[in-house]
Amino acid sequence: MLRRALDFIHANAQYEITIRDIAAASGVTPRAIQYAFREHLNLTPLEYLRRVRLERAHRELKSADPALETVTSIAGRCGFSHPGRFSSAYKQVFGTEPSRTLRS
């Protein structure tokens, strides 16, 4: 069940997905999937989704050409709809602004 949930998240992280979507893909209730994530990963499913999205954005920012890409476009492709929240979360996790990562 947990493997199906993780696979679903990795395959669909760029889309707007909910706990219900994750649970349905896993064949269990939302409560059961929340419990499994807490028990095995010490995270909620949506916290895990956010981490996956941030890691993808980080990889893309590191490899992107700043003349052709923007932080906003990369964040959007990775499933973040609010640039300000993305920048804040990115800085909290990686210790630097996403624009700085893009330029480096």
Confidence tier at 80 by pLDDT (50, 70, 90): very high
pTM of the model: 0.91
CA 35 to each of CA 2, 63, 97, 98: distance values in angstroms, whole numbers, following the listed order: 10, 36, 33, 32
State the pLDDT at residue 104: 86
Q: Write out pLDDT tens, residues 21-55.
A: 999 999 999 999 999 999 999 999 999 999 999 99
Helix 30-41 / helix 19-26 crossing angle, nearest 10 deg: 90
